[in-house]
Structure 1
Amino acid sequence: MQLPYLKQFPDEKGYFGKFGGSFVPEPIMKAMEEIDVAYNLIAQNSDFIAELRKIRKHFQGRPTPIYFAHNLTKQYGGAGIYLKREDLNHTGAHKLNHCMGEGLLAKFMGKKKLIAETGAGQHGVALATAAAYFGLECEIHMGEVDIAKEYPNVLRMKILGAKIVSVSSGAKTLKEAVDSAFEAYLQDTERSMYAIGSVVGPHPFPKMVRDFQAIIGIESREQFLEMTGELPDFVVACVGGGSNAMGIFSGFIDDPVELVGVEPLGRGTKLGDHAASLTYGTKGVMHGFDSIMLKDENGDPAAVYSVASGLDYPSVGPEHAYLYSIQRTKVATVSDTEAIDAFYELSRKEGIIPAIESSHALAHALKIAPDLKGKKILVNLSGRGDKDIDFVVEKYGYKEN
């Protein structure tokens, strides 16, 4: 009997087919091995599982609901549009799903401090929340561009007790924040745990973050069957690093459901104007893992851009690269303009203000829905847009209906 997909991948060395692995300096390699051993131990521990379930129910507010977007469905006149409401998860996004798991793991390992990067700030807020919950120190590295763009989340992190490290090198966005956080972690591996914010990085993080985020897919599958009596025809999620997408895809990966990852096309197809790694990238290693990445003329990680701070990353999780390579998932792209239009559509038509990241997934659903009459689309609404409203209004104004 063939094992379910999630039991087969990754292998013991952290590979999803030819993608994944661990390419880090020796001190970090030892730390990653320590995390891997600890995670495999507690993942089998009924006390850990029970504690995580308690946290999810009584602290995070899970399960989050699925909502049928009746107004958008009526307006676009084709497929039924459903939203998995991760924006209702405590702190306003899916990120807390793995941050509480990573915090619990750090506590089990006797660590005193959590270190991480953040782009849109949702991972930083979630990790600062987890650190406060578990009584740990917290240090968040964030690019200067994103600090200015996502300032409400910066204030939230500070209120929660986190130390914010402003990163002024390079493009001053997510890639540079990851570089900075790794350097800080290298100086303090004994006391600290690096809590990676997506399904990226060296093994075991792509697996570990996916496993913690899989609760989205587990809930979604059960809820959708209960609501409609059948599975969705399409599951759509935005992809930067890809944690929210792997979370919801995990619930349907063995089912006859089309899984669509939506990448940011930004301003256009020219290198430097987008962050569509799977669409335009090639195989390469960065930040300790082998995946598909956007490269410059020297083969180094290329400059990338997206209106969504959480999506402007020049690579993608190795599991996404593998699933796309075997044609289990499909990839679409959405421009800045399309994402902002979807941001306003959901706000005005359903009374839900989405994160700009999530708006990419919604934009694709709205694009394909008219031609899919009788079908059902489930969109992972991975976060709420409170963090984005100042930026959106300043740059785009109040769009008329």
Structure 2
Amino acid sequence: MTDFAPMPDTNGFFGQYGGQLVPPELKQVMHEIDLAYEEIRNTEKFQNELMKLFQDYVGRPSPIYHAQRLSEQLGGAQIYLKREDLNHTGAHKINHCLGEALLAKFMGKKKVIAETGAGQHGVALATACALVGIPCEIHMGQVDIEKEHPNVTKMKILGCKLVPVTRGTATLKDAVDSAFEEYLKDPQNTIYAIGSVVGPHPFPKMVRDFQSIIGREARQQFQDKYQCLPHYITACVGGGSNAMGLFTAFLNDDGVNIVGVEPAGKGLDTDMHSATLTLGTPGELHGFKCYVLQDSEGQPLPVHSIASGLDYPGVGPQHCYLKDIERVNYESVTDEECLEAFMTLSRVEGIIPALESAHAVAWAMKKAKTLPPEQHILVNLSGRGDKDADYVAEKLNL
């Protein structure tokens, strides 16, 4: 059985993916971040401070909820939700944002810079920076600003500087480009708080570690409540932070089937999707090696998803490795299926999910129908749908 504990290696690689493809002057900066992280990660002071914030500020542990009415309606396997949507700020993003903000404080950084797609990372980071007293600058695509207005308002209330990005497709990939360029102007006094398990080493490792509390909790909770492990666990995958947060604790459990759900958008037979692991090829993006949706010259292709947090042409390097060794299966869900799951969960269980999370719910709904009632599917409900409610209502003429 593969032992996943040592990943990544000392150079930041998960198999052939990951690494640190940055200019020479940035390698030293990344090395300093890695050293600082390794220095504080296991100290009692840091762990106690982080766990206290998780408990008293975020509201952890997040519960596991049996979606009984939904399961009965589907007539198959039982669906359970890991309720990350109940966290302070409404999603899983707060888990790593608190860790990154504490690291920035420890390193004496003067400012935190980041990108955001759906705005959940932006809100969570602005929240964490307000908490520790560090200025925060968030870059966000103009398309996403217009689509995710509630989160834009929250970021401004929390005191962050919001930088609209109008280049390219004016979505997540372009926001990453813009934020990284700003970071390069003064990497000594600023830190780039990446919003997923992507980017140059050590960020895929750091974000995974901070998010792994999801899986550790879920694994223990499920055993305590049901005296077994789930037959399937699933989460949506864009960059992949909420998925790695859930998956990590279960990787060595051979009896647990792990499924990542990508956005098929308008269909895999169109150019309007973000199914990177399904249709991408190995390449380079934003300082690391991963599967990329790219053209014949290695340039990232425009991508699409109804969920702003998933429209990214790359994916976390550990996900790429897990795909190649076939430990995790990666499947996809269309915009239409996502919307159906969004509305179904809202009206059957009274839980409005984020559009990102609704991709995983949609997959679970399809899969449950093919399984017997005694099987269990655990979905990471990574965020709530407050930010998407107006957009969905307009789209469906509600």
CA shift digits 1:79-130 (9 cap, x unpaired): 0100000000110000000000000000000012110000000000000001
CA shift digits 1:26-75 (9 cap, x unpaired): 23222111100000101121111111111101111000000000100100
Q: What is the aligned partner in structure 2 of residue 327 from structure 1?
A: 326
Task: State how 1:253-292 maps to structure 2 within 5 Å.
Answer: 253-256=251-254, 257-270=256-269, 272-292=271-291
Q: What is the aligned partner in structure 2 of residue 364 from structure 1?
A: 363
Q: What is the aligned partner in structure 2 of residue 177 from structure 1?
A: 175
Does residue 343 (structure 1) correspond to residue 335 (structure 2)? The answer is no
Q: Count the aligned residue pairs.
A: 396
8 Å CA contact 2:18–2:290 kept in 1: the answer is yes
Q: What is the aligned partner in structure 2 of residue 94 from structure 1?
A: 92
Cα drift, residue 3 of structure 1:
8.9
Cα drift, residue 271 of structure 1:
5.3
Task: State how 1:107-186 maps to structure 2 within 5 Å.
Answer: 107-186=105-184
Q: 2:250 aligns with which of 230, 249, 252?
A: 252
Where 1:44 maps in the other structure, the secondary structure is coil
CA shift digits 1:315-372 (9 cap, x unpaired): 1000000001000000111000000000000000000000000000000000010111
Q: Which amino acid aligns with 1:209?
A: V
CA shift digits 1:377-398 (9 cap, x unpaired): 0000000000001111111223
Unmatched segments (≥5 aa) in structure 2: none
Q: What is the aligned partner in structure 1 of residue 292 from structure 2?
A: 293
For the aligned residues, what is the CA RMSD? 1.0
Q: 1:237 aligns with which of 235, 238, 258?
A: 235
Where 2:250 maps in the other structure, the secondary structure is coil
* d(CA) in 2 for partners of 1:3, 1:364: 27
Q: 1:192 aligns with which of 187, 190, 193?
A: 190
Task: State how 1:9-48 maps to structure 2 within 5 Å.
Answer: 9-48=7-46
Task: State how 1:375-386 maps to structure 2 within 5 Å.
Answer: 375-386=375-386
Task: State how 1:216-235 maps to structure 2 within 5 Å.
Answer: 216-235=214-233
* d(CA) in 2 for partners of 1:235, 1:248: 8
* d(CA) in 2 for partners of 1:272, 1:175: 16
Q: What is the aligned partner in structure 1 of residue 314 from structure 2?
A: 315
Name whichever of 24-33 and 250-259 sits farther off. 24-33
Give the fraction of aligned pairs with identical amino acids, expressed as a percent: 60
8 Å CA contact 1:271–1:304 kept in 2: the answer is no
8 Å CA contact 1:271–1:302 kept in 2: the answer is no
Cα drift, residue 4 of structure 1:
4.6
* d(CA) in 1 for partners of 2:42, 2:227: 32
8 Å CA contact 1:271–1:303 kept in 2: the answer is no
Q: Which amino acid aligns with 2:17?
A: F
Q: Which amino acid aligns with 2:351?
A: I
Where 1:99 maps in the other structure, the secondary structure is helix
Does residue 396 (structure 1) correspond to residue 393 (structure 2)? The answer is no
* d(CA) in 1 for partners of 2:3, 2:63: 26
* d(CA) in 1 for partners of 2:2, 2:271: 41
8 Å CA contact 1:93–1:383 kept in 2: the answer is yes
8 Å CA contact 1:27–1:186 kept in 2: the answer is no
8 Å CA contact 2:2–2:252 kept in 1: the answer is no
* d(CA) in 1 for partners of 2:392, 2:58: 27
Q: Which amino acid aligns with 1:247?
A: G
Report the TM-score, using the length of structure 1 for normalisation.
0.97
CA shift digits 1:165-224 (9 cap, x unpaired): 000000000000000000000012121110000000000000000000000000000000
Name whichever of 107-116 and 291-300 sits farther off. 291-300
Cα drift, residue 304 of structure 1:
0.3
